[in-house]
Amino acid sequence: MATSFNTVYLTFYKKSFLFVKSYVHDDMVAEDIVAESLVKIWEKMKQEEIDPVGPLLFTILKNAALDHLKHETVKQNVHTNIGNYLNRELEIRISTLQSCDPGEVFSSEIAQIIQDTLSSLPRKTRQIFEMSRFEGKPYREIAENMGITVKGIDYHIALAVSKLRVALKDYLPLWIWFFFGL
Amino acid sequence: MNKELLLRYISGDATGEEKAEVAKWLDADAGNMHEFMALRKLHDITVWQYEPQKEQNKKVNFRIGKLSRRKVITEVLKVAAVFILAFILFKHFDNAGSEYASTQTLYVPSGQRALLTLPDSSKVWLNANTTFTFPNHFSPESREVTLEGEGYFDVAHNVSHPFVVKTGGYNVKVLGTEFNVLAYPGNPEFEVSVLDGLVEVIESKGEKGKLIKPGQKIVIEKNQFQVASIEHTAYFLWKDGIISFDDEAFTEMVRKLELYFDLKINVKNDKILTYRCTGKFRTKDGVEHILKVLQLSNRFEYTIDDKLNIITIE
């Protein structure tokens, strides 16, 4: 077989972790889910050829994260006001994850737009955005690395995000109907 | 809702209270939810669609073949330099004969270090690009040496014979102690760090003195005295051939690398100058090793011009 587990791990670990963490909001849980999912997809790859790997891995991660979130609901304290909001917040996370479709995320058109937009950004902005979004570094660490303040990092990230938003405007607000159906 | 919080919430780094706040905000208005959904999806897309650049690693691997030859040459030169120094010193001593109070001058070039044992058995480590002058025999009254550059002193205790290090602007007077003196002539900063014993720093033209205790250092710039505690003790490992950076500004690091490795470094990209570096390196591992390690945490590339001995960083 051409690819080794090591290659799969190196290519997908970081992405998987950042993706899962953004839904489960817990580093340790995210690590567990990613580790299990990577083993799972590796087992599948031994049986049949899987190409591309991304979308299938995405679905495996999504299902594992959903399982986790659905269990979380029960544990939360519903008696306090903040508890109510937290339950609602969890609900929102579950529905966004449910509606999250690999077909939209893995479109090659989008990949091109992202590349183009990133290369049009000022170098510093792009670098900070990549450190945060793709390397998952905390703001404080990036600020230290770049020798600027955390507020400065906020600014560069917000700039990159708004540029990407404009560039991807045709692809983004697709899920809106879902929330009014709730 | 501030955008930073929303982004932090999406990446999964918001606190419980912040999450509740976000939920409240999302339900307050359909437009809010719309905005959130767009950013939420943008996050997923960018996380999955990003391909890190791989060119950087290739370049580094490519250069390794060359490195070994460079290293060998550097090592040979280092050994040769030590022999030449030893020979010059020997000649000096020889010529000086029994002449009382005549002095010796030792120059340590860039890229070199030296350890010297003085007539009173005090030890001095001299850093790169440093000139050190000392008498063949110390006079009965005091022990006086002159330093231009950086030296680490381990002075033999002798109460009746104070040991004085003279530099351009200040003299450092001690009885017996361990301390580091940084006094490069071109550098506006003069610094004495005391590791053991008491040290007195005195203006060379005046009487005004200041006592420095162990664990303290004094920094003098434009006649401003500033005493602080020593936080970065690993710095003094330079005498054992270890370069240590502790949250060092990139410009300062470049200056030290130039000094320790006797080369010129051009930084072409101003952004890189804002980086800060932390790490410990052995001088003998070479400057390329240091740059490669720094590349792991800071984004930059470098090229080496072997002929001109210039490194360009961009």
- Chain A residues within an 8 Å CB radius of B30: 179-180
**What pLDDT, on the 0 to 100 scale, is given for residue B75?**
60
Tell me which residue in B50, B297, B299 faces A127 most closely, judged by beta carbons.
Answer: B299
**What pLDDT, on the 0 to 100 scale, is given for residue A182?**
33
Radius of gyration of chain A (CA): 18
Average pLDDT value for chain A: 83
Write the pLDDT tens digit of every residue in B47-71: 888 766 543 333 333 333 344 555 5
Please name the residue that has the structure tokens 């270890």: B242
Tell me which residue in A58, A123, A161 faces B271 most closely, judged by beta carbons.
Answer: A123
How far apart CA B70 and CA A46 sit, in angstroms, is: 46
Q: Which residue has the higher pLDDT, B151 or B97?
A: B151
ipTM of the complex, rounded to two decimals: 0.85
> In the numeric block, which tokens belong to residue B38?
């767009």
Whether the pLDDT of residue A22 is over 90: the answer is: yes
Together in a domain, A60 and A98: yes
Note whether B25 contacts A: Cβ–Cβ < 8 A: no
How far apart CA B169 and CA A56 sit, in angstroms, is: 71
Q: Would residue A149 count as lying in a domain?
A: yes
DSSP SS3 for A2: coil
Together in a domain, A100 and A114: no
Write the pLDDT tens digit of every residue in A48-100: 888 888 999 999 999 999 999 988 865 555 556 667 788 888 888 998 898 88
* Domain stops at, among A105, A140, A155: A105
Whether the bond between A173 and the residue before it is cis, its omega within 30 degrees of 0, is no
Average pLDDT of the segment spanning B229-240: 85
Other Cβ atoms closer than 10 A to B94: 8
Q: Would residue A164 count as lying in a domain?
A: yes
Average pLDDT of the segment spanning B24-37: 85
Together in a domain, A93 and A74: yes
Together in a domain, A97 and A114: no
Query: Which among B48, B253, B271 is the top mutation candidate for probing chain A, defined by the most A β-carbons within 10 Å of its own β-carbon?
Result: B48
Together in a domain, A70 and A151: no
How is domain B241-313 classified at the architecture level of CATH? 3-Layer(bab) Sandwich (3.55)
Tell me which residue in A22, A127, A172 faces B12 most closely, judged by beta carbons.
Answer: A22
B98-235 sits in which CATH class?
Answer: mainly beta
User: Which residues span the domain enclosing A97?
Assistant: 5-105
Together in a domain, A101 and A135: no
Going by C-alpha positions, the residue among B253, B246, B248, B235 that lies closest to residue B313 is B253
Write the pLDDT tens digit of every residue in A119-151: 899 989 999 998 888 888 888 889 998 889 988
**What pLDDT, on the 0 to 100 scale, is given for residue B62?**
37
> In the numeric block, which tokens belong to residue A97?
């994850």
**What pLDDT, on the 0 to 100 scale, is given for residue A49?**
86
Interface of B with A in 242-261 (CB under 8 A): 247, 249
Whether the pLDDT of residue B34 is over 70: the answer is: yes
Together in a domain, A113 and A38: no
Q: Would residue A162 count as lying in a domain?
A: yes
Together in a domain, A134 and A51: no
Q: Nearest residue on chain B to A27, judged by CA atoms?
A: B12
Q: Quote the percentage of chain A above a pLDDT of 70.
A: 86
* Domain stops at, among A89, A105, A121: A105
Q: Would residue A180 count as lying in a domain?
A: no
* Domain stops at, among A105, A124, A144: A105
List the alpha helices (DSSP H) in A76-169.
81-98, 102-105, 108-120, 123-133, 139-146, 150-167
Together in a domain, A37 and A101: yes
- Number of H helices and E strands in chain A, helices first, is 10, 0
Whether the pLDDT of residue A178 is over 80: the answer is: no
**What pLDDT, on the 0 to 100 scale, is given for residue B59?**
38
How far apart CA B128 and CA B261 sit, in angstroms, is: 9
Whether the pLDDT of residue B277 is over 50: the answer is: yes
**What pLDDT, on the 0 to 100 scale, is given for residue A179?**
39
- Residue B309, Cα to own-chain centre: how many angstroms? 20
How far apart CA B194 and CA B230 sit, in angstroms, is: 8
Spatial contact of B135 and B115, defined as CB atoms under 8 Å apart: no
CA distances to A105, A140, A159, B250, B313 from A147, rounded to whole Å, are 34, 10, 18, 10, 18
Spatial contact of B310 and B276, defined as CB atoms under 8 Å apart: no
**Number of domains within chain A:** 2
**What pLDDT, on the 0 to 100 scale, is given for residue A24?**
94
- Chain B residues within an 8 Å CB radius of A72: none
Residue spans of the domains in chain B: they are 3-49, 98-235, 241-313
Tell me which residue in A15, A85, A96 faces B40 most closely, judged by beta carbons.
Answer: A96
Q: Nearest residue on chain A to B278, judged by CA atoms?
A: A145
CB contact under 8 A, A145 and B275: yes
Q: What's the whole-model pTM score?
A: 0.47
> In the numeric block, which tokens belong to residue B71?
């290293």
Whether the pLDDT of residue B204 is over 60: the answer is: yes
Kindly report the three-state secondary structure assignment for every residue of chain B: CCHHHHHHHHHCCCCHHHHHHHHHHHHHCHHHHHHHHHHHHHHHHHHHHCCCCCHHHHHHHHHHHHHHHHHHHHHHHHHHHHHHHHHHHHHHHHHHCCCCCCEEEEEECCCCCEEEECCCCCEEEECCCEEEEEECCCCCCCEEEEEEEEEEEECCCCCCCCEEEECCCEEEEECCCEEEEEECCCCCEEEEEEEECCEEEEECCCCCEEEECCCEEEEEECCEEEEEECCCHHHHHHHHCEEEEEEEEHHHHHHHHHHHHCCEEEECCHHHHHCEEEEEEEHHHHHHHHHHHHHHHCCCCEEEECCCCEEEEC
**What pLDDT, on the 0 to 100 scale, is given for residue B88?**
63
Q: Would residue A87 count as lying in a domain?
A: yes
pLDDT band at A176 (very low <50, low <70, confident <90, very high): very low
Together in a domain, A30 and A101: yes
**What pLDDT, on the 0 to 100 scale, is given for residue A16?**
94
